[in-house]
Amino acid sequence: MNKNSKLPKLALVIPCYNEGAMLKITIEQLLRLLNDYVEREVIAANSFALLVDDGSKDETWQILQSSSNHFIKAIKLSHNVGHQHALIAGLTYVTNQVDCCISLDADLQDDISVTEEMIANYTSGSQIVYGVRGSRETDKAMKRGTAQLFYKLMKRMGVDLIYNHADFRLLSNRVLVELQKYKEVNLFLRGLFPQMGFKSSKVYYKRKARIADQTKYSFKQMLHLAVNGITSFSNFPLKMITYIGFAIFFCSFIISLWVLFVWTSGRAVPGWASITLPVYFLGGVQLLALGIIGEYLGKIYLETKARPRFHIEEEI
């Protein structure tokens, strides 16, 4: 970068939930990175890392409090709101404070050395830079499988997702400002940014294994994220009900013809199966349909309440 031009002020935004086991190592590595970038004039000297304590129950906040360094800022959310909302809290906090920010996980599974390439892409005009996993071999087979299924499903439903990209990304302040215009409570960031349409680019990296502790994402949270992603961006499940309805209507038409035929041919001993099967089948389909409708209704309910997504309790 040209030394005379203004260096970008960067914030690294890191949600942390019960990360006590490795937070010190993470902070050390972040400090080394920021120091190096400032020294080599990649970023402005007043850049910083913002760690968001997502209502941890371990010593995460104590560690953050004791790490007094001008590069480290931290906020503590009053209770656990989940990775996505904790991330939004951090992004909201740095909006208009920086030129760009990079979000990453506290376990540093995402290779922080590619952040330099991200910043280079930003200075050459990208408003969003997606970190894309070149390989997922460090993820468990189960996680890989479900992720694969999710991407396929979303694509089917017409939602534009960046393949193998999670929440490791650079956002310019302009994008951060735009993000604040989205008032819905259940924001699905991975679907949102590609849809915003700003100039973007990708950098590729190899995802590492967690060096300490284990994933803070329970299966329930993962499932919630997937369902939220689908219902936030697509009406396909609703349309599906109509399609299934049509199919069932068609089938019952054929079955009625068959019943009519059996009846007129005089062999009509009313079959147990032909009565009970449709009862079970239709019962199942109706329940499924109600479930999907309920999912959307639940969303409307939550959105009409328009509750704040987080409350900041303390600030360093």
Task: Please choose, from the candidates 183, 182, 189, the residue with its C-alpha nearest in 3D space to the C-alpha of residue 304.
Answer: 183
Six-digit token string for 289: 């349909």
The least CB distance from residue 43 to ligand UDP, in Å, is 22
2 forms bridges with which residues in the sheet?
none
**Which DSSP symbol is given to 13?**
E
Q: Strand 200-206: give its sheet, edge to edge.
A: 200-206, 128-135, 165-172, 100-103, 10-16, 48-53, 72-77, 312-315
- The answer to whether 167 contacts Mg ion (rule: CB under 5 A) is no
Cβ neighbours around 68 below 10 Å, total: 8
Q: What is the closest distance, in whole angstroms, from the C-beta atom of residue 260 to ligand UDP in the complex? A: 56
- What is the smallest separation between the CB atom of 22 and ligand UDP, expressed in angstroms? 10
Query: 28: part of which helix (H) or strand (E)?
Result: helix 23-39
Exactly one of 107, 110, 111, 167 binds Mg ion (CB under 5 A); which one?
107
Residue 15 binding result from Mg ion, ligand UDP, none, given CB thresholds of 5 to 8 Å by partner type: ligand UDP
Query: In terms of DSSP bridges, do strands 72-77 and 48-53 run parallel, antiparallel, or are they unpaired?
Result: parallel
- Interface with Mg ion includes 172 (CB under 5 A)? no
Dist. CA 114–CA 171, nearest whole Å: 15
| Smallest gap from residue 154 Cβ to ligand UDP (A) | 17
* Closer residue to Mg ion (CB): 54 or 105: 105
Question: 16 vs 30, which CB is nearer to ligand UDP?
Answer: 16
For residue 172, give the 3-state DSSP assignment.
strand
Choice between 138 and 252, CB closer to Mg ion? 138
Please give the Cα distance from 187 to 206 (Å, whole number).
Answer: 27
Q: Does 99 bind Mg ion (CB under 5 A)?
A: no
Please, which residue, 116 or 139, has the CB nearer to Mg ion? 139
Q: Which residues bind ligand UDP (CB under 6 A)?
A: 15-17, 19, 54, 80, 82-83, 86, 105-107, 109, 215-217
Q: For residues 19 and 111, which CB has a smaller minimum distance to ligand UDP in the complex?
A: 19
Closest approach, Cβ 46 to ligand UDP, in A, equals: 24
Q: Exactly one of 67, 109, 164, 231 binds Mg ion (CB under 5 A); which one?
A: 109
Q: How far apart are the C-alpha atoms of 304 and 182, rounded to whole Å?
A: 14
Residues that bind Mg ion (CB under 5 A): 105, 107, 109
